[in-house]
Structure 1
Amino acid sequence: MSEPTVDQLADVAERTGRLISGIAPEQWGDPTPCAEWDVRALVDHVVGGNALFAASLSGRAGKPDGYADSVERVLAAFRAPGVLDRIVEVPFGRVPGTVALHLRITDVMVHGWDIARATGQHADFPDQVVEQSLAFSLAALPAVRSDRSPFAPPQPIDDDAPVLDRLAACLGRKVG
């Protein structure tokens, strides 16, 4: 499995940002593939996740001013010297910085998929990055205690389905 890069996170975040920008005013209250969240709550979750990771990595907390600000903060935190080489605290516990980066890329990308599904847009993430996240998720999920897992059980999906759909199904989304 290849190592994630901060540039990959920047690209995934930018693509998710385009999906967020494409949300029509009347869609903010619509349901998403994450049953407990409507579109607004899902976007708030992504912003909060970026802020949480940024604060954990940098030691500087504070509420971001929207999605773009949260992305700037998390990218700056991951780009700080030595972050990827040390152990950091994230919601899953203490992990290497590269694992935290994998988690953030996967979370932002899958929630981008959620936003696209909820709003009738097309999620366009590079297959290489999606494949990397799928391999990481398949390897990491068995180690996550069920009481700490934020994901629904993996859902069935055809092996020849698009890789982004396979990633979403791996993380509990019903695809189709």
Structure 2
Amino acid sequence: MTPTPVVRLGEICDATERLIEEVREEQWAAPTPCTEWSVRDLVNHLVAGNRRFTGVLRGAVPPGNAPRPPVTDVLGDDPLAAFRDSSRDMLAAFEEPGVLDKKVSMPIGTVPGIVALQLRIVEGLVHGWDLARATGQTVRFPDDLVEQALAFTRDKLGDIPPDRSPFGVPTPVPDDAPSLDRLAAFLGRPVTAATD
């Protein structure tokens, strides 16, 4: 049986949770491929994003149209627990009846719930890649899921107004690069500058 998109998002959350679990104390201040963020900032962004999606799916209006609202610390003293709890709540919100069919207001505009889910999958994949690169870890996301996300991104990124796009300008990457590297490069990461 083919896993549902919500189950696939859960796989991404699980893999990212394992990455967070292995972050060493001295790595929290380390830089990431998101040049303005440290590892802690990146994990904070993931948790805040999970919470924003949960709120929006349950009827909250997103704060303005900025793709990256002002950052406040939502990690507290336990980043792993904060991520785990926010992921659980977000997945539960995506599983509520009718959510994938209803229109939800996101910073990029109003989209069906299934599109919001796909956006969260893409963001989870690329930020998992960011976190793995920043901490010297290897992340394993299913290739078929990454290929689907890459196809979705190529198809839909042009629909996002440039002033609302949360991603960078695509960077060069070899055609035969792993699918996750190709997704990261498409979303503005300097793949060739990093090492495995």
Which category describes the TM-score, using the shorter chain as reference length?
over 0.9
Deviations 1:146-170 (A, max 9, x none): 1111111001111100000000001
Q: Identify which of 175, 192, 196 aligns with 1:159.
A: 175
Q: In the alignment, is the contact (CA less than 8 A) between 2:108 and 2:161 conserved in 1?
A: no
Runs of 4+ in structure 1 off by over 6 angstroms are none
Amino acid paired to 2:26: E
Q: CA deviation at 1:108?
A: 1.1
> Which residue number in structure 2 is paired with residue 59 of structure 1?
59
1:26–1:12 CA distance, 2 compared to 1 (3 A)? same
Find the residue that maps to 1:160 and give its secondary structure. Answer: coil
Amino acid paired to 2:182: R
1:4–1:174 CA distance, 2 compared to 1 (3 A)? farther
Q: CA deviation at 1:3?
A: 10
1:72 equivalent to 2:51? Answer no
Q: In the alignment, is the contact (CA less than 8 A) between 1:151 and 1:172 conserved in 2?
A: yes
> Which residue number in structure 1 is paired with residue 17 of structure 2?
17
Deviations 1:113-170 (A, max 9, x none): 0000000000110001100100000001111111111111001111100000000001
Q: Identify which of 94, 103, 107 aligns with 1:91.
A: 107
Amino acid paired to 2:48: G
1:144 equivalent to 2:160? Answer yes
Q: In the alignment, is the contact (CA less than 8 A) between 1:110 and 1:168 conserved in 2?
A: yes
1:68–1:3 CA distance, 2 compared to 1 (3 A)? closer
Q: CA deviation at 1:86?
A: 1.0
Q: Identify which of 125, 132, 137 aligns with 1:116.
A: 132
Residue ranges of structure 2 left out of the alignment (5+ in a row): 62-73, 76-80
Residue ranges of structure 1 left out of the alignment (5+ in a row): none
What's the TM-score, normalizing by structure 1? Answer: 0.94
Find the residue that maps to 2:172 and give its secondary structure. Answer: coil
Count of aligned residue pairs for this structure pair: 174
Q: CA deviation at 1:92?
A: 1.1
Q: In the alignment, is the contact (CA less than 8 A) between 1:4 and 1:102 conserved in 2?
A: no
CA distance in 2, matches of 1:85, 1:146: 26
Amino acid paired to 1:34: C
More displaced 10-residue stretch of structure 1: 65-74 or 44-53: 65-74
CA RMSD of aligned residues (A): 1.9
What's the TM-score, normalizing by structure 2? Answer: 0.85
Find the residue that maps to 2:104 and give its secondary structure. Answer: strand
